[in-house]
Chain A
Amino acid sequence: MNGAHAIVETLLKHGTDVTFGFPGGAVIPLFDAYLDYKDKIRNVLVRHEQGAAHAAEGYARASGKIGVCIATSGPGACNLVTGIADAYMDSIPIIGFGGQVPTSLIGNDAFQETDMIGITLPITKHNYQIRDPNGIAPTIMKAYKLALEGRPGPIYIDLPKDIQSKEVTEAFPNEVKIVGFQPTIKPNPLQINKAAEAMLHAEMPLFLIGQGVMISNAHRELQELVNLTGIPVTTTFMGKGAFDERHPLSLGIVGMHGRKIANYATLQTDLLITIGCRFSDRITGNLKTYAENAKIIHADIDPAEIGKNVKVDIPIVGDAKEILKELIVMVKKLAVKEKTKWVSKIKQNKKTCDDCVPVKETKRIHPKHVMLELNKIMKPKDIVVTGVGQHQMFAGHFIRRSKPRTFISSGGAGTMGFGFPAAIGAKVAKPDSNVFLIDGDGSFQMTIQELGTVKEGNIKVIPIIMNNSYLGMVRQWLELFSDKRYSEVYLGRTPDFVKVAEAYGLEGIRVEKKSEFLPAIEQAIKNDVTTIVDVVTEEESNILPMLLPGGHLKDAFGGCMAAPGKYFRGD
């Protein structure tokens, strides 16, 4: 068995039967081995390595399993970098394999040599360069452990060409130990008691749920705890799907483009129970006034997140599932009851917020309309993937999701071009779900070459392009904060996405009227191949409400609930 076989064997041992990759000189031996494992493992041949990394992310985000991407040395591996950095920001478990020049040439500036260990150091949970074929299995085993356990994250592995072809002489170990890696899973019972006591005594408690709850597969426990205590729930953008947004106690997402009801509740609450969230600046706005009336409980598996941005009153380190389980036990013991006054107020305000989503009559289609229509047609198990920009925030604000891992988006990094390849990865992970890609004309063009991947790989996704001919989010900022000095944001009315689709042997439908949208989606669902639905939307619509970066949550402006601050102050 040579090194390349050992790599494939180790992947198979961990249940990886699909990878996303692109070949090149330094990974010829690795892809050669794929021919010997034809019926066990397949590679999705992407058209650009960035697509491989995002597809691996999409696969991981949709399934909870590790996504694997492969690129050759030098430029190939460099092209993985954006995806790896994206996965790092959003705690996504992927393993990136990059080829490397033979060990004898490392450090000599050989052809296609790049120091990938140096480059990926700040954007990976850990990285390895394997310099001995016998080190292949143990290293990859460590990578799987590290990527998935504790707070997940990307691992990069550098594979010099010669070790891929050299013979492996030692047997694979049964397990590997990493001395310096022992994440805390079980929470401290004292902290759980404190948290439950606080929940008992609080008058206006509120859950703030982050992606951590989804990562540890704890949505059922969360649901149970909410049903037991009657505490309302907001989620972060990344936590979307961790709690059923159709539940009467769900307030939707918080933050810069969050729902006002969620942001106002954050200001009013006297106990913010935060689980698996890192208090990003897009969530908190001004830290000095953030949740200023609240005692804060912060539960996270990564101790470094606690106290990093927000002062915490009751820290809990541990796995979200374990924490929720323990909280359920304590809450039952203390007989924590629903705070009826607070809950009825929340429900009433929520109704105002829900009823207050008028779709403006515009000449072209308003993005809000698309989101509301999609809510009607999507099944709970269907997956929404987004690009980055206005359309992403429209989706975050208006799309309702009920199941975890059915809303996939680049949160922390905000990577334009993420959507399409991530949708491919999600579809590969969940072939029985419809995967709707809500993308912008700007974002989609950044990774448009993957149309070749879906055609040749028979992968069917449904790209819905919110085509406003602008780089909409930047245009919105320029309109609101730069006195409409539009600079470098107009893309024009090209390309013709329908023709592009046809050029790749795919289908395309242009939607110019509201009434055409649902039939187009229905047709796209029916079609066997990927069908681009090119929706010509209002050129200068804004995603509102919006909070100024670093602003006070009460000052979110636009959208529902009239004047900023009024609702909160007059309440």
Chain B
Amino acid sequence: MLLADAWLPRENISGVIEMERRHVIAMLVEDQPGVLTRIAGMFARRGFNIETITVGKTTKKGESKMVITVIGDDDMLEQVEKQVNKLIDTIKVTEMPDERSVIKELCLIKVNIANQKVKDEILKYTDIYKTKIVDITTKEATMEIIGDPGKVDSFIDLMKQFGIKEVSRTGVTAISRSR
């Protein structure tokens, strides 16, 4: 299962050890100045840790969509959803479970090209991972990978052997699967 590696034990409010995992939450919010501060501020105040956050316009004027990933148990997720809902600028909050959602992120990764052999190897991996080379010189190559965070993680791991110069990840965005 996607994100399965993120399960961690944690003590909940009743002192029971519960499993933590990564949750993806999508929210429709009013497109107004300060809305990001309001939401991010609430997360910080209540001690919820934001893993990633992405914001973008929707097709409806005056509305933005925000996707946030947090790590926590189910009780915490419930509190997050309720507290986000309570903010006046929030229109709708939905949890995006792995099995019923398309969850993707984009990552740009710049690696060293030491020699021709390395270059060939990089090209081989880009092919396997269906990534794209978006910029290349004799010394460096920049690849673009789109996928679930697990896939992105493993590609980054794979590239470590060549010497990563820089990584830039967008954070997760998500949409529900059609049934």
Contact = CB atoms under 8 A, between A and B. Distances in A.
The reply to whether chain A is a binding partner of chain B is yes
Interface in B55-101: 75, 78-79, 82-83, 85-91
A146 B88 contact: yes
Interface residues of A, number: 20
A309 B82 CA distance: 14
A180 B13 contact: no
A179 interface: yes
A304 B86 contact: yes
B88 A287 contact: no
Most buried by B among A125, A126, A180, A304: A180
Interface in A238-266: none
Contacts of A489: none
B34 A307 contact: no
Given A121-B37, A121-B38, A178 B88 contact: yes
Interface string A110-128: 0000000110011001100
A287 B13 contact: yes
A481 interface: no
Nearest to A302: B86
Interface in A530-569: none
A110 to B, nearest CB: 19
Interface in B21-42: 29-30, 34, 37-38, 41-42
B47 interface: no
B13 A122 contact: no
A288 B14 contact: yes
Given A288-B14, A304-B83, A308-B79, A181 B41 contact: no
A303 interface: yes
Contact of B88 (A181, A288, A308): A181
B82 A180 contact: no
Contacts of B82: 303-304
B15 A121 contact: no
Contacts of B42: 122
B45 interface: yes
Contact of B30 (A121, A180, A311): A180
A134 B79 CA distance: 37
Nearest to B34: A117
A439 to B, nearest CB: 32
B37 A180 contact: no
Contacts of A178: 88
B37 A303 contact: no
Contacts of A126: 88
For the complex of A and B, the 6 pairs showing the least CB-CB separation, nearest first, are A304-B82, A126-B88, A180-B91, A180-B90, A303-B82, A304-B86
Interface of B: 13-15, 29-30, 34, 37-38, 41-42, 45, 75, 78-79, 82-83, 85-91
Interface of A: 117-118, 121-122, 125-126, 146, 178-181, 287-288, 302-304, 307-309, 311
25 contacts: A121-B37, A121-B41, A122-B41, A122-B45, A125-B88, A146-B88, A178-B88, A179-B91, A180-B30, A180-B87, A180-B89, A180-B90, A180-B91, A287-B14, A288-B14, A302-B86, A303-B85, A303-B86, A304-B82, A304-B85, A307-B78, A307-B79, A308-B79, A309-B13, A311-B14
